Every structure is written in C-alpha cells, then in structure tokens.
C-alpha cells in the first residue's frame, strides 16, 4: 500500500513537471498532496496528515492557481 501510494505520488509529480499546461500541473500536485496525506495517516502520523491535507490541497493550490491566473497558463519553453 505504501509503495503504491508513493508510486502514484512520483507519477503525479513527474506529470506536474512535464505537462505543458501549468494548471494541470497544479491539480496534479494537489492530488499528490491528498495521496501523501493518506499515506501519513497510514503511517500513524495524524498530525502531519491534517497539515498536509490543509496546506497541500488547500492553501498551496490557491497560491499556485493565483500565480497561474495572474501570469500565463502555458509553459512555452
């Protein structure tokens, strides 16, 4: 179970770095944060799980989406 979640986190992170659309990357990172929160709960770290769920899926997604909205959505390089 741990390995499966970690593999999904790796895939999501790689997708976030490779996708041409930055918004898709932000959503992928948010999903990996939720998966990490689940993993922290499995690993008996409920405090870290609450923080990761609130910070990773909530606040940092708001910040990323704000930055993308204020600048540009496509990665042109």
Q: How far apart are CA 56 and CA 64, in angstroms?
A: 11
- 10-29: which residues touch other proteins (CB under 8 A)? 10, 13-14, 16-17, 22, 25-26, 29
Q: How far apart are the first and last CA of the chain?
A: 37
- Assess 7 for contact with other proteins (CB under 8 A): yes
Q: Does 64 bind other proteins (CB under 8 A)?
A: yes
Measured from the CB of residue 29, what is the shortest distance to other proteins in angstroms? 6
Non-local CB neighbours of 15 within 8 Å, separated by 6+ positions: 24, 25, 28
Secondary structure of residue 5 in the 3-state scheme: helix
**Interacting residues toward other proteins by CB under 8 A:** 2-3, 6-7, 9-10, 13-14, 16-17, 22, 25-26, 29, 32-33, 36, 39-40, 43-52, 54-56, 58-60, 62-64, 66-72, 75-77
């Amino acid at each position: 179970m741990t390995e499966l979640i970690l593999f999904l986190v790796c895939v999501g992170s790689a997708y976030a770095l490779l996708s041409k659309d930055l918004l898709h990357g932000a959503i992928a990172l948010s999903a990996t944060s939720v998966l990490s929160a689940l993993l922290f709960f499995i690993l008996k770290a409920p405090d870290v799980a609450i923080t990761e769920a609130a910070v990773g899926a909530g606040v940092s997604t708001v910040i990323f989406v704000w930055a993308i909205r204020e600048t540009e959505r496509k990665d042109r390089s």
